Structure 1
């Protein structure tokens, strides 16, 4: 696995003391990809061909619309819809021609197959995935190459469970055979410590609502429910662009 290193954003991330700096970096990657597809690229024939072929997932079509750049979205939607109609024309004509139940089921199955193929791509998800791969690889690389980064990561707040899993999987490709198991142990130790911290915060939040604890300090746990959900699920997960 050979990827361009992204040392600056990863170093900034690990120093931010975020609950999961990979989630933060994915938020930026999503923002950048949305801005790209609503900027001058919308007039680029090569970009339009890619949009017509792959389009966006539901979430990212909606984010494009929410950006209030109506002309750009209209231009992309115009040709994307036309391409979709062309790809689905045969299946739609078969639906229009059904006369028997068995024929209807066959036509519906054919149309469903066209739609599954049409909906499996997303240019924003793909751009995010490419950035995530580089961030994961860089995190592992820096851990193996820079003792200061290794210590900063050890003292950090870990990752959401989703990105923690991906980081473990990436380590096999980014680190030497000698470093790999040491990294797995070290990063898991940090993750478990921070999962315990979150669990304690959430537990205290549940107790804080009891009448006998109303006057006691929140101990910084006012947002523990949010941090707990973020830790379990991740705030900015990439949907597999090919699923």
Structure 2
């Protein structure tokens, strides 16, 4: 099948022979977003962009990555106007706040649902992130592309079947996406391929980690490392996603 512009990133991720192509895409998209927000293009100086970042804010994880990125002025500009937005919202919340009445029954509930409007507002702010929100939109499009190629491109299917599978995190997303993107018989074929693929590759990682343990036995000090030298980071990635061994992504000055 002839490669299209929108299929190139996913095919690149598959060809990278990574433990999970969606981890590969996630890292690439996240780095592109950090470059857009804080990079040399200085989008943080544009009022319309900063209006969006002011509204969405950033999660704790991405604030850390923004700090590590290294653009002091860019971060300062973003924080300056974001603080103005948050303080304005906070004042409005305070002005309309009324403490909820607590009954005797509520006091004995261990998991009572909070009706505190300040707490609800803070949780809403914490759940909002400019980078996360943009990635979610992009991620959905890649899911669409994956299943389009799965149904249309025999070479793509072959690479998936012969590949290293996915991390558990993204495999769960893939299975959920299959419910709405595949018909009945297509689902059967999909899972008949995916389950053995995941079992085989999870076992491969388990064996790599197990051999790393054995290498610390003095009797195996001269034995071949096989594929276990980077088994820790690959094993962690397979279980939870991401790249534990990656250092901070820095601004290209």
Q: Give TM class, smaller chain.
A: 0.7 to 0.9
Aligned to 1:52: 54
**Greater displacement, 24-33 / 207-216:** 207-216
In the TM superposition, what is the alpha-carbon distance from 1:172 to its structure 2 partner? 2.2
In the TM superposition, what is the alpha-carbon distance from 1:113 to its structure 2 partner? 2.8
SS at 1:158's partner residue? coil
User: Aligned equivalents of 1:167 and 1:5: distance in 2?
Assistant: 22
Cα contact 1:64–1:73 (8 A) shared by 2: yes
What are structure 2's unaligned runs of at least 5 residues?
Answer: 100-115, 244-253
Aligned to 1:28: 28
User: Aligned equivalents of 2:17 and 2:42: distance in 1?
Assistant: 35
In the TM superposition, what is the alpha-carbon distance from 1:69 to its structure 2 partner? 1.7
1:167 aligns with 2:169: no
SS at 2:179's partner residue? helix
Aligned to 1:125: 132
Aligned to 1:241: none
In the TM superposition, what is the alpha-carbon distance from 1:152 to its structure 2 partner? 0.9
What are structure 1's unaligned runs of at least 5 residues?
Answer: 99-108, 237-243
In the TM superposition, what is the alpha-carbon distance from 1:114 to its structure 2 partner? 2.8
Cα contact 1:157–1:190 (8 A) shared by 2: yes
User: Aligned equivalents of 2:5 and 2:124: distance in 1?
Assistant: 33
Aligned to 1:14: 14
Aligned to 1:43: 45
In the TM superposition, what is the alpha-carbon distance from 1:91 to its structure 2 partner? 5.4
**TM-score, structure 2 as length reference:** 0.80
Q: Deviations over 1:56-109 (max 9, x none)?
A: 1011122222222222211111111111111112556899xx9xxxxxxxxxx5
Q: Deviations over 1:187-212 (max 9, x none)?
A: 22111111111111111111111122
Q: How many residues align?
A: 223
**TM-score, structure 1 as length reference:** 0.83
